[in-house]
């Protein structure tokens, strides 16, 4: 069921984002009088196709990793005399710029609409209350302690851990002082000055929140099994979801973290689990499997996940706005994500952020499945984020992408004549090399995460 859900979520995610992107190109092209020959969602062999009243062929193809809009163009087609005014290449340069830019712009507008919908519907967030502070961390040095609620970072109000994470992510690589405002229950807010010195974060291992030294408050997590891998050691030994682990080899396991530590220290070693199930106490022998980390250390695991506890209402906050305010907030959130995405790309090229953080289709599929399982709110939020990423990626000045074509048209607008075919051909080769290299790195990272 998990695999089917992941596949369906991936198809919906890619289908929605590719369709609106290509629809942007299509809609503006038709408004500019360009004849559209084909509107394809996906590549490769057509699965379904039909002719519209506008004589455009609409196609759903077999490989759902993109799409395209094929327009009439004298450089690629033999154009009948009566259709010459409908060819893309005959249109003024400003119209061609509008047609090419429309796809990415629609992706960004979709993100605004998605965030607007979430803000009108109402989103439930976790209050950014600190559970612990890591000794010696930047926030510990600044005097921040457990139990405080973060209210603002550098003057920007934050009302959830997600917003704290986004504000801190923008500071990666910085050497500067930042101001964090926080308060304890019943006390007035206090400002803390946190010093960053070339602050680096391995985003593949931790979030900016934990890297700065915060450990978010969480409810007590009891050692009750919530998920089991079908081929995991726990399921093979006969453990079931809902089982409460009492002891391992007679050693008390009263928290999930304590149970995890016992299992991690027991790679390939048989252990007797004392389990409470439906009011009865059973004993089950489980031999944790082993896995080796990048640093060479070996730890045990049994293929089981925890039963997620309910968050107390006092630690949750609902964010809801009226339609107009929600639109303003949607634009603001989209703008924040655009700036963060561009800044992350810059930091990746300068080495501040590792290229290990590049993700490909496997990671997208996994996150799509996980967010769909988490509910409508998480899935729409993921769609908005991915739509922004797709829009920004396509606007990069790389030949093969929309941004590369826009670069050529801007040069044409300034020079008064098109960029030569030779230059465009060379640019295409460079763009293909760069794009395929990035795709190879992203796929390698995906496989490494598996």
Q: What share of the chain is helix, strand, coil (3-state, %, to 5)?
A: 45, 25, 30
**End-to-end distance of the chain based on CA atoms, in angstroms?**
19
How far is CA 163 from each of CA 27, 129, 209, 248, 328, rounded to the nearest angstrom?
35, 13, 10, 39, 17
Structure tokens at 96: 């061609």
The Cα 54–Cα 37 span in angstroms is 9
How does residue 1 score in pLDDT terms, banded at 50, 70 and 90? very low
Strands 156-157, 149-153: parallel, antiparallel or unpaired by DSSP?
Answer: antiparallel
Q: Is the pLDDT of residue 3 over 70?
A: no
* SS3 at position 282: strand
The Cα 40–Cα 60 span in angstroms is 6
Note the Cα 67 to chain centre separation in Å: 21
**CB-count burial class (<10 Å; 0-12, 13-18, 19+) for 310:** exposed
How far is CA 62 from each of CA 15, 16, 269, 381, rounded to the nearest angstrom?
12, 16, 47, 27
The DSSP bridge partners found for residue 51 are 57
What pLDDT, in 10s, does the model give residues 414-436? 988 888 888 888 888 888 888 88
Going by C-beta distance under 8 Å and a sequence separation of 6 or more, which residues neighbour residue 279?
none
Q: Is the pLDDT of residue 129 over 70?
A: yes
Nearest to 288 by CA among 260, 257, 258, 253: 260
For the chain, the average pLDDT equals 87
Given strand 176-183, what is the order of strands in its sheet?
A: 156-157, 149-153, 176-183, 190-196
What pLDDT, in 10s, does the model give residues 155-191? 999 999 989 998 999 999 999 999 999 998 767 889 9
Element (H, E) at 252: strand 251-252
* SS3 at position 193: strand
How does residue 7 score in pLDDT terms, banded at 50, 70 and 90? confident
Report the pLDDT value the prediction gives residue 329, as an integer from 0 to 100.
94
Mean predicted confidence (pLDDT) in 119-133: 91
What pLDDT, in 10s, does the model give residues 327-372? 999 999 999 999 988 998 888 888 888 777 777 666 666 666 666 6
% residues pLDDT > 90 (the chain): 46
Report the pLDDT value the prediction gives residue 410, as an integer from 0 to 100.
93
The Cα 43–Cα 59 span in angstroms is 9
Q: Is the pLDDT of residue 107 over 50?
A: yes
Do the beta carbons of residue 17 and residue 387 sit within 8 Å?
yes
How far is CA 114 from each of CA 65, 84, 165, 192, 380, rounded to the nearest angstrom?
22, 39, 20, 35, 6
Structure tokens at 22: 């290509």
Going by C-beta distance under 8 Å and a sequence separation of 6 or more, which residues neighbour residue 27?
102
Q: Provide the Cα torsion 441, 446, 449, 450; round to 10°.
A: -140
The larger pLDDT score, comparing residue 282 to residue 351, is at 282
Mean predicted confidence (pLDDT) in 50-79: 86
The larger pLDDT score, comparing residue 378 to residue 152, is at 152
- Is 230 an active-site residue? no
The Cα 400–Cα 437 span in angstroms is 13
Domains and CATH numbers, the chain: 93-119+322-450 (no CATH), 123-219+310-319 (2.30.42.10), 225-306 (2.30.42.10)
The Cα 393–Cα 360 span in angstroms is 13
Element (H, E) at 438: helix 421-449
The DSSP bridge partners found for residue 214 are 133
**CB-count burial class (<10 Å; 0-12, 13-18, 19+) for 207:** middle
Q: What is the DSSP string of 300-312?
A: EE-SEEE-PPPPP
């Amino acid at each position: 069921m998990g695999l089917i859900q992941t596949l369906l979520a991936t198809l919906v995610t890619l289908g929605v984002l590719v369709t609106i992107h290509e629809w942007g190109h299509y809609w503006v092209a038709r408004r500019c009088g360009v004849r559209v020959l084909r509107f394809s969602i996906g590549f490769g062999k057509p699965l379904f196709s039909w002719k519209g009243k506008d004589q455009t062929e609409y196609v759903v193809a077999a490989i759902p990793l993109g799409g395209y809009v094929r327009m009439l163009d004298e450089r690629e087609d033999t154009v009948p005399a009566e259709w010459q005014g409908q060819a893309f290449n005959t249109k003024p340069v400003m119209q061609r710029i509008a047609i090419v830019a429309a796809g990415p712009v629609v992706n960004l507008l979709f993100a605004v609409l998605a965030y607007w919908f979430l803000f009108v519907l109402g989103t439930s967030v976790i209050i950014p209350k600190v559970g612990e502070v890591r000794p010696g961390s930047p926030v510990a040095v600044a005097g921040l302690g457990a139990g405080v609620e973060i209210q603002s970072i550098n003057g920007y109000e934050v009302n959830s851990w997600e917003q704290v994470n986004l504000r801190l992510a923008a500071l990666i690589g910085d050497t500067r002082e930042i101001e964090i405002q926080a308060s304890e229950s019943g006390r007035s807010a206090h400002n803390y000055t946190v010093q960053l010195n070339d602050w680096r974060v391995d985003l593949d291992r931790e979030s900016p929140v934990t890297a700065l030294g915060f450990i978010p408050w969480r409810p007590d997590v009891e050692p009750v099994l919530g998920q089991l891998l079908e081929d995991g050691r726990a399921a093979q030994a006969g453990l079931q979801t809902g089982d409460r682990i009492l002891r391992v080899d007679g050693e008390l396991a009263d928290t999930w973290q304590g149970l995890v530590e016992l299992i991690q220290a027991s790679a390939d070693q048989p252990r007797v689990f004392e389990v409470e199930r439906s009011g009865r106490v059973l004993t089950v022998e489980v031999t944790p499997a082993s896995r080796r980390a990048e640093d060479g250390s070996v730890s045990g695991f049994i293929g089981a996940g925890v039963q997620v506890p309910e968050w107390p209402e006092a630690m949750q906050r609902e964010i809801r706005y009226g339609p107009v305010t929600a639109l303003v907030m949607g634009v603001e959130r989209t703008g924040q994500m655009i700036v963060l995405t561009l800044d992350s790309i810059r930091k990746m090229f300068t080495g501040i952020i590792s290229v290990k953080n590049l993700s490909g289709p496997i990671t997208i599929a996994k996150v799509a499945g996980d967010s769909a399982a988490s509910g409508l709110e998480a899935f729409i939020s993921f769609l908005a984020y991915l739509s922004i990423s797709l829009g920004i990626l396509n606007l990069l000045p790389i030949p093969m992408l929309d941004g590369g074509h826009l670069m050529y048209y801007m040069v044409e607008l300034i020079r008064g004549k098109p960029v030569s075919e030779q230059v465009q051909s060379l640019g295409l080769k460079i763009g293909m090399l760069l794009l395929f290299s990035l795709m190879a790195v992203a796929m390698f990272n995906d496989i490494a995460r598996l």
